Chain A
Amino acid sequence: GQNIDQPTEMTATEGAIVQINCTYQTSGFNGLFWYQQHAGEAPTFLSYNVLDGLEEKGRFSSFLSRSKGYSYLLLKELQMKDSASYLCAAKAAGNKLTFGGGTRVLVKP
């Protein structure tokens, strides 16, 4: 079975840091994606983790712990344009992706 949990909403101030947590229970797990989705738009790829540890890409970093079924997305130096929904998705065999409900991040000035 597949179960992905992430918080519904988070609010942060411009210039601050926000960490979005994601826990998953996925049969045949073999990777974790994070996508960004602005209102009314399609999801766009942010990061992919398959091994334990931290992957850094500019202001965004993603962490994975396979033993704990846990990942987080870290957004640093928040900008107003980072206001969006962030989707955690677990990959299973056959490249099947199951998405969480998304975390809506609101950045305030």
Chain B
Amino acid sequence: EAGVAQSPRYKIIEKRQSVAFWCNPISGHATLYWYQQILGQGPKLLIQFQNNGVVDDSQLPKDRFSAERLKGVDSTLKIQPAKLEDSAVYLCASSFLGLAATGELFFGEGSRLTVL
């Protein structure tokens, strides 16, 4: 079974530029998450989708961050304009919510963003 795919793995941009990250979840996983992980900290939830609807985006800085999940499969996270404090690893995860399922999250390898 293929895992969660993310791209690009690494991205270096200057502040005020824009960047987009892509995620393809595990087939059949209806729930998709974007987390931001700053070095030395735990992952912080940015947005959670259930199919193509947003479940929680309370911690997404909506003035600069946007995310979509068209057709309920792939997702894109965009930052425009980027700030220095956006330097982090952006983790995409997916989960399956069936009867007796734990709801375990499966993570992609992450996209490491450096803003100069």
Contacts and interface: CB of A to CB of B under 8 A. Distances in A.
Given A42-B109, A96-B55, A91 B103 contact: yes
Interface residues of B, number: 24
A79 to B, nearest CB: 23
Interface string A65-109: 000000000000000000000010001001111111110000000
Nearest to B104: A45
Query: Interface size for chain A: under 10, 10 to 19, 20 to 34, or 35 or more residues?
Result: 20 to 34
A101 B35 CA distance: 13
Interface stretch (B11-19, B44-52, B66-74): B44-52
Contact of B41 (A43, A94, A95, A102): A102
Interface in B82-116: 91, 95, 97, 102-110
Contact of A42 (B31, B44, B110): B110
A48 B55 contact: no
B107 A42 contact: yes
B61 interface: no
In the A-B complex, list the 4 residue pairs whose CB atoms are closest, starting with the nearest.
A42-B107, A99-B42, A95-B103, A101-B42
